[in-house]
Amino acid sequence: MKFLPLVWAGVWRRPGRTALTLISIISAFVIFGILQGFTSGLSRLVANAQADVLITQSRGGPLDRLPIADLDILKRTPGVRAAARTVFFGGPFRQPNAFLPAQAIDPDEARAVDDQLHITPAQWAALKATRSGALVTSDHAKLYGFKVGDRVPLTPQFYTNKDGGRAFPVDVVGIYPSNPDDGVFGGLVLLNYDYIDQSRASNAGTVNGYLVRIDDPLKSGVMSVAIDRQFANSPHETKTYSLRQLALASIARLGDVGLAVRLIAGAVFFALLFSVGSVMIQSGRERTVELAVLKTLGFGDATVVGITIVEAVVICLAAAIAGLLISTALYPVVMKTIHFNVKAGPALPAGLIVALLLALVAGAIPAWRAARLSIVDGLAGR
């Protein structure tokens, strides 16, 4: 601590230059923090995806429909704990570019399949008791101002009602906490299947797919094959996979995000290395006489080197922490802008490691010069 005044004086020897250096590092770590948070969030989604929940859809694709009669076959399959029908009912809401994701389900089936939903028994009961009821997430309630008791017109992409219109009025009976980590129902508006099935003008008695809860998550692959085998060579062949496989496939469609982040982080690191390194070298040259005076007063080479390195560490870590905190605040705005709902993963540990490495590398040359500096040459300004 006794050397802290020397370090602080060295850091702010040229306030304007230090401020510009801090701004450049902060800006770089804002970008790094957002990208790293997104990558970590995707990795967490895959890790948290429920391996014991399978999705059974038509082999022709998720928009092809399966008959509701398949539900009984799935429930009777050995190793299946529960199965739930699902009908995709999302569509534009209030504005053409605003999308409201919705799913028609049977409340009892949904509760049996997904135990990560934070929906109270009273809310489930309200949904069952209200034919046109809807449970909305807290995020959607905040975004659109939904309140319990509101009547909301939904306009799904692929359905019209029996009156020939596109609007399906639903009544908000509950608001449950959003859970982006729940890949089953965590971010959806939940509706009663019977109401949707009886109100739509076509495709009654069908679903877009089934969610299947199995007893042993380690047998997800075996169970997927067993389920599909039951519908082989039928008019409605199926394709079954786990939620974890779905998460991996969804991330794969985005490309190698991790590689992209590493390449960007590498480019930012080297750009900062040259920038900060040149500042540190220039600062060391300007302080040649000061360093020589320190050695004259009895400061050893190791102490002088330590002071030089600590100055670089203070600048880089302070700016990195500031940048990462700013990125944390900006992350939700960025995700909303690009229409992704990925909760940020931890970026601080990786950011601090990068900042520390940057400080050590950038401070290495001026520290080496300070260690080799002779008192005579230093006092002479050489």
What would the pLDDT profile of 341-368 be if each residue is shown by its tens digit? 666 666 777 778 887 887 777 777 676 6
Instruction: Output the pLDDT for position 191.
Output: 92
Instruction: Output the pLDDT for position 356.
Output: 81
Say how many residues make up the chain. 382
How sure is the predictor about 98, in pLDDT bands with cuts at 50, 70 and 90?
A: confident
The set of long-range contacts for 288-295, using a CB threshold of 8 Å and a minimum separation of 24, is 288/373, 288/377, 288/378, 288/381, 288/382, 289/378, 289/379, 289/381, 291/370, 291/373, 291/378, 292/373, 292/374, 292/375, 292/377, 292/378, 292/379, 293/378, 293/379, 294/6, 295/373, 295/375, 295/378
By CB atoms closer than 10 A (0-12, 13-18, 19+), residue 382 is: exposed
Q: What's the pLDDT tens digit per position in 297-356?
A: 556 666 666 677 777 777 778 888 888 888 888 777 777 665 666 666 667 777 788 878
Instruction: Output the pLDDT for position 173.
Output: 92
Per DSSP, the three-state class of 15 is helix
Check residue 295 and give left, alpha or beta (phi > 0: left; psi -120 to 50: alpha): alpha
Dihedral (CA of 50, 53, 56, 57) sign: negative
- CA–CA distance, 107 with 34 (Å, rounded to integer): 37
H-helix segments, the chain: 4-11, 15-48, 70-76, 107-113, 121-129, 138-144, 193-199, 220-230, 243-253, 257-286, 288-296, 301-337, 348-372, 375-379
Q: What's the pLDDT tens digit per position in 8-35?
A: 655 556 677 777 877 888 888 888 887 7
Distance of CA 334 to the CA centre of its chain: 11
- CA–CA distance, 299 with 292 (Å, rounded to integer): 9
How sure is the predictor about 281, in pLDDT bands with cuts at 50, 70 and 90?
A: low
Instruction: Output the pLDDT for position 302.
Output: 66
Give yes or no for residue 154 having a pLDDT over 70.
yes
By CB atoms closer than 10 A (0-12, 13-18, 19+), residue 372 is: exposed
Q: State residue 358 phi and psi, 5-degree precision.
A: -60, -45
Q: What's the pLDDT tens digit per position in 171-212?
A: 999 998 887 665 556 678 899 999 988 988 888 889 998 988
- CA–CA distance, 276 with 362 (Å, rounded to integer): 6
Mean pLDDT along residues 225-248: 82
Average pLDDT, the chain: 77
**CB hemisphere CA count around 264 (13 angstroms):** 16
Question: Which has the closest alpha carbon to 240: 44, 66, 43, 112?
Answer: 66
Instruction: Output the pLDDT for position 126.
Output: 93
Query: Which residue is listed with tokens 């999302």?
Result: 90
Give yes or no for residue 136 having a pLDDT over 80.
yes
Per DSSP, the three-state class of 300 is coil
Beta strand pairing call for 189-192 and 133-137: antiparallel
| Residue 243 and residue 55 in contact, taking contact as beta carbons nearer than 8 Å | yes
Question: Which has the closest alpha carbon to 70: 230, 242, 239?
Answer: 230
pTM of the predicted structure, to 2 decimals: 0.63
| Residue 343 and residue 181 in contact, taking contact as beta carbons nearer than 8 Å | yes
Q: What's the pLDDT tens digit per position in 38-80?
A: 777 666 666 655 667 888 888 887 778 889 989 999 999 999 9
Instruction: Output the pLDDT for position 333.
Output: 76
